[in-house]
């Protein structure tokens, strides 16, 4: 049995940061990652970095094949850098293996065909999430059926792409592949697009995506995949329609990656949704075992995984004041064209919580910067509390919104009144100037 101060299962954002932090404390660390193509985690290998690289190149008119090659180059460079940072650290032993718990303090791995057992007082689980495959009739292993992970490895652009699911991943891929030239159809069981977003924003998103040529089928479920003889697949839908395409993308969400961890051999408990249950300091139901990132459920963003590391590091080495409870506003962006960014509550969510609200609204086309960059699409909306003047939320659909949303988050975290952003002097001509008018709320 090999003994370490800490075992980290999963080479993701939180895992690699935790390994580096512990190494500076002279801890002896075992890092376990089953797939060398995942060194560095989901973001740099199969999610944020490769998809946003493709989004960028699609908007710039780069041919699909060239974009795939550049995406691969970017990923390989970052993966190698992440590997080197861990492998070159004398305090960290890197194992390429599946990790399986034998008990609360013992983890089994395979090294060169032999079983090894590792033990440590502190264990960190950072295994991320995996594609959630829906129950459907037909052969889902067909070479025409893809997940969000496998589709961006395809070197040939799909002529016709059918996307099952209209969540953030489905919409991002729809926009991206349409920009490359695919004919895209999105199938969703919902009766509307983005039901959790502001209705006016969602309607604007739908309008612009449809104007780009993306087709949406609402209130329909794809129940079966049928392979045709002419290099096509057919999807019979619950509403009686049929969709034919060269390629099908299953964009039906991602689930915590816990299946092969051997958690049945431990006292670690799962939530009803299949995520690892944690407290506000991300400790599981077993003392000194933590779960960080997507595997613990909730919003699946790499910056949340990074911040999870901060919570655990603060709990181990700091004043123990930082936690899920004290974490403040979490922004997010959906990199459709133009991008949609959000932080905080919508108007309805705020009213449901009892706030008396006021709203600010600005059409992007009314702002000078939009004319400078020749992109007049989109709508910005903000929600403020009439009594305190605090900003309750913002929904920004338009160019440069992924940067703008962080300014709103910063103001919200500092409890600054909305007038702070309204009355700020901005340089010109920039999109942040829009706050002068967006927050001009009576």
Q: Nearest 5°: phi and psi at 175? A: -65, -45
Let me know if 428 is a catalytic residue.
yes
Question: Which run of H or of E encompasses 291?
Answer: strand 289-291
Cβ atoms of residues 266 and 101 within 8 Å: yes
Q: Nearest 5°: phi and psi at 68? A: -65, -40
Cβ atoms of residues 381 and 341 within 8 Å: no
Cβ atoms of residues 245 and 232 within 8 Å: yes
Return the closest-CA partner of residue 366 out of 440, 431, 273: 431
| Cα angle: 19, vertex 22, 26; to 5 degrees | 125
Convert 210-238 to b/e letters by CB count within 10 Å (16 or more is b): eeeebebbeebbbeebeeeeeeebbbbbe
How many residues comprise the chain?
A: 442
- The span from the CA of 242 to the CA of 64, in Å, is 28
- The span from the CA of 53 to the CA of 287, in Å, is 40
Catalytic residue among 122, 281, 371, 428: 428
How many of the other CB atoms lie within 10 Å of CB of 401?
Answer: 26
| Residue 283: DSSP 8-state | B
Six-digit token string for 433: 């100037």
Burial class (CB in 10 A: 0-12, 13-18, 19+), 339: buried
| Cα angle: 141, vertex 147, 149; to 5 degrees | 120
Burial class (CB in 10 A: 0-12, 13-18, 19+), 104: middle
Chain centroid offset of residue 219 CA = 25
**By three-state DSSP, how is residue 128 classified?**
coil
Return the closest-CA partner of residue 117 out of 125, 128, 108, 126: 108
Chain centroid offset of residue 173 CA = 13
* Active site (catalytic) residues: 428
């Amino acid at each position: 049995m090999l003994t370490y101060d800490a075992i980290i299962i999963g080479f993701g954002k939180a895992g690699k940061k935790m390994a580096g932090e512990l190494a500076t404390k002279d801890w002896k660390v075992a890092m376990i990652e089953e797939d060398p193509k995942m060194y560095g985690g989901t973001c740099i290998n199969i999610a944020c970095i490769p998809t946003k690289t493709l989004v960028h190149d699609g908007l710039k008119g780069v041919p699909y094949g060239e974009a795939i090659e550049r995406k691969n180059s970017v990923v390989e460079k970052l993966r190698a850098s992440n590997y080197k940072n861990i492998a070159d650290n004398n305090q960290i032993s890197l194992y390429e293996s599946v990790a399986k718990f034998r008990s609360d303090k013992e983890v089994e791995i395979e090294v060169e065909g032999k079983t090894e057992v590792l033990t440590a007082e502190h264990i960190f689980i950072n295994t991320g999430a995996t594609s959630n495959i829906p129950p459907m009739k037909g052969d889902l292993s067909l070479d025409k059926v893809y997940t969000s992970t496998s589709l961006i490895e395809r070197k040939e652009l799909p002529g016709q792409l059918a996307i099952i699911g209209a969540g953030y991943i489905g919409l991002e891929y729809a926009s991206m592949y349409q920009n490359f030239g695919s004919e895209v159809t999105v199938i969703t069981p919902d009766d509307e697009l983005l039901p959790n977003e502001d209705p006016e924003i969602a309607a604007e998103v739908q309008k612009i995506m449809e104007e780009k040529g993306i087709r949406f089928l609402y209130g329909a479920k794809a129940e079966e995949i049928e392979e045709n003889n002419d290099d096509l697949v057919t999807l019979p839908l619950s509403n009686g329609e049929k969709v034919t395409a060269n390629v099908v993308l299953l964009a039906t969400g991602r689930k915590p990656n816990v299946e092969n961890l051997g958690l049945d051999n431990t006292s670690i408990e799962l939530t009803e949704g299949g995520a690892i249950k944690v407290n506000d300091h991300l400790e599981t139901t077993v003392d000194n075992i933590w779960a960080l990132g997507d595997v613990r459920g909730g919003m699946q963003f790499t910056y949340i995984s990074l911040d999870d590391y901060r919570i655990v590091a603060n709990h181990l080495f700091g004043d123990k004041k930082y936690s899920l409870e004290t974490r403040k506003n979490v922004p997010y962006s959906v990199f459709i064209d133009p991008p949609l960014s959000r932080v905080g509550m919508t108007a309805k969510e705020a009213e449901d919580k009892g706030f008396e609200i006021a709203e600010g609204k600005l059409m992007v086309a009314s702002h000078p910067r939009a004319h400078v960059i020749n992109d007049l699409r989109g709508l910005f909306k903000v929600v403020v509390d009439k009594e305190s003047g605090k900003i309750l939320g913002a929904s920004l659909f338009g160019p440069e919104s992924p940067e703008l949303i962080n300014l709103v988050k910063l103001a919200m975290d500092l409890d600054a009144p909305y007038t702070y952003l309204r009355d700020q002097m901005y340089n010109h001509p920039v999109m942040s100037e829009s706050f002068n008018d967006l927050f001009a709320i009576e």
